């Protein structure tokens, strides 16, 4: 089966001479039909530039781009058979919801009967049959975003592109719309590429995630791979909320890891010369009074289902996820137990994960 999207060796530079800025550096991604790919990273990492190149709003400096097996470099956006949902809803204020959804079909000369049938089909899929006669000013932010997605979906594109579509919504609506987008993708089966800086969106929506930094893909994998097997400390710190605890130390004799600034030694399965960093997710630590590794509780953050406890130790500050009923208070001295079967080890100089 041919890929829905092939990105090969895409580079993008802006400016000339000494003022040249390279914003994308040899991007290679193959997206399978029906896949939901997330491009995630901080502002300025190149994710929106890459999406604009896929859409035809930017041309790459070098590389190849194919949609459904067709070379689309130089092809205008309107001829790429894509649909795009932006951060702004970009709805026509004087048109009804039905007219907004069907406008692109009208511009393509789709007959009225067929157009109206498609609008009704999309309205049912988006659960907004009762909104078709309203205008955008009569809708909430979440309803407007559903109309924008419905308008894009009405065309039955080969590729769905999302450019941070939930950024303008409040926290509750973001959660609702994440579920809406996931349901929409499951029902429509349209291949999708979604840009966000929110790692929670990335983890909950994507079938695969490309974590970007400085125009380079640091890791491309499933949410489980990205979370549990990050290739470096950047990915480990970017994905996960709270982020992974990363502690400095050295591998010493008898297969032990000595935490910097501390006398605490932990069993270590790797042999490595030079400084090493130990990576531990908050859920892989426990408060245990009997543990030799001790520290002072500096902050307790209840979240309802869990409580996050920030502990300052001689080896550095760590965050521990605990049950909400655990009696821990600021100023307490506690012991920290480590689930070393879930530990990750990184080379401190390169930041890359050390694989056994």
What pLDDT is attached to residue 8?
A: 97
DSSP category for residue 77? G
Q: DSSP strand E in 32-186: where?
A: 36-40, 62-67, 70-71, 82-85, 159-163
Whether the CA torsion 190, 182, 234, 220 is positive or negative: it is negative
Sorted by where each begins, the domain ranges of the chain are 5-238, 245-347
Q: What is the pLDDT confidence band of residue 1, given thresholds at 50, 70 and 90?
A: very low
CATH ID of 245-347, from 2.60.40.10, 3.30.750.24, 2.40.50.140, 3.40.640.10: 2.40.50.140
> What distance in Å separates the CA atoms of residue 225 and residue 222, rounded to the nearest whole number?
5
For residue 304, with 0-12 CB atoms within 10 Å meaning exposed, 13-18 middle and 19 or more buried, which class applies? exposed
Q: What is the pLDDT confidence band of residue 56, given thresholds at 50, 70 and 90?
A: very high
Q: Is the pLDDT of residue 2 over 80?
A: no
Whether the CA torsion 67, 72, 78, 84 is positive or negative: it is positive
Q: Are strands 316-322 and 307-313 parallel, antiparallel or unpaired?
A: antiparallel
Measuring CA to CA, which residue among 21, 11, 5, 23 is closest to residue 63?
Answer: 11
What confidence tens digit (pLDDT) does each residue in 132-184 have?
999 999 998 888 888 888 888 887 788 999 998 888 777 887 888 888 888 88
What confidence tens digit (pLDDT) does each residue in 13-34 have?
998 888 889 999 999 999 999 9
> What distance in Å separates the CA atoms of residue 293 and residue 211, rounded to the nearest whole number?
33
Q: Is the pLDDT of residue 191 over 90?
A: yes
Whether the CA torsion 28, 225, 244, 325 is positive or negative: it is positive
> What distance in Å separates the CA atoms of residue 98 and residue 108, rounded to the nearest whole number?
16
Q: Are strands 82-85 and 256-259 parallel, antiparallel or unpaired?
A: unpaired
Distance in Å from the first CA to the final CA of the chain: 35
Query: Could you tell me which CATH class the domain 5-238 is placed in?
Result: alpha beta
What confidence tens digit (pLDDT) does each residue in 203-233 have?
999 999 999 999 999 999 999 999 999 999 9
Instruction: State the CB neighbour count (10 A cutoff) for residue 202.
Output: 24
Measuring CA to CA, which residue among 336, 338, 292 is closest to residue 311?
Answer: 336
What confidence tens digit (pLDDT) does each residue in 81-138 have?
898 888 777 888 999 999 999 988 888 888 999 999 999 988 888 788 899 999 999 9
DSSP category for residue 78? G
> What distance in Å separates the CA atoms of residue 234 and residue 48, rounded to the nearest whole number?
20
Tell me the C-alpha to C-alpha distance, in Å, between residue 293 and each of 51, 68, 311: 47, 55, 11
């Amino acid at each position: 089966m041919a890929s829905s999207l092939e990105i090969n060796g895409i580079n993008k530079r802006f400016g000339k001479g000494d003022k040249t800025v390279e914003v994308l550096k040899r991007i290679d991604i193959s997206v399978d039909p029906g896949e939901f790919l997330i491009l995630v990273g901080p502002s300025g990492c190149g994710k929106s530039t890459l999406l604009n190149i896929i859409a035809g709003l930017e041309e790459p400096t070098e590389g190849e781009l194919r949609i459904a097996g067709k070379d689309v470099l130089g092809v205008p956006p309107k001829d790429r058979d894509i649909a795009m949902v932006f951060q702004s809803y970009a709805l026509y204020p004087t048109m009804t919801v039905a007219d907004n959804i069907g406008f692109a079909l009208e511009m393509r000369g789709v007959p009225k009967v067929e157009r109206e049938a498609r609008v009704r089909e999309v309205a049912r899929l988006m659960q907004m049959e009762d909104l078709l006669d309203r205008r955008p000013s009569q809708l909430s932010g979440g309803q407007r975003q559903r109309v924008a997605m419905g308008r894009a979906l009405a065309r039955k594109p080969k590729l769905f592109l999302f450019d941070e579509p939930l950024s303008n919504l409040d926290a509750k609506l973001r959660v609702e719309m994440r579920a809406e987008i996931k349901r929409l993708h499951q029902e429509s089966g349209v291949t999708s590429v979604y840009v966000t800086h929110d790692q929670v969106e990335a983890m909950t929506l994507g079938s695969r995630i490309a974590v970007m930094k400085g125009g380079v893909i640091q890791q491309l994998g499933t949410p489980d791979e990205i979370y549990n097997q990050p290739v470096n400390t950047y990915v480990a710190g970017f994905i996960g909320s709270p982020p992974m605890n990363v502690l400095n130390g050295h591998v010493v004799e008898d297969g032990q890891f000595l935490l910097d600034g501390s006398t605490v030694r932990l069993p270590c399965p790797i042999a490595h010369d030079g400084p090493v960093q130990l990576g531990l997710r908050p859920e892989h630590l426990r408060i245990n009074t009997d543990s030799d590794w001790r520290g002072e509780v500096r902050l307790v953050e209840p979240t309802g289902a869990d409580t996050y406890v920030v502990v300052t130790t001689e080896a550095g500050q760590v965050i521990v996820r605990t049950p909400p009923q655990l009696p821990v208070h600021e100023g307490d001295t506690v012991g920290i137990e480590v689930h070393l079967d879930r530990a990750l080890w990184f080379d401190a100089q390169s930041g890359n994960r050390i694989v056994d």
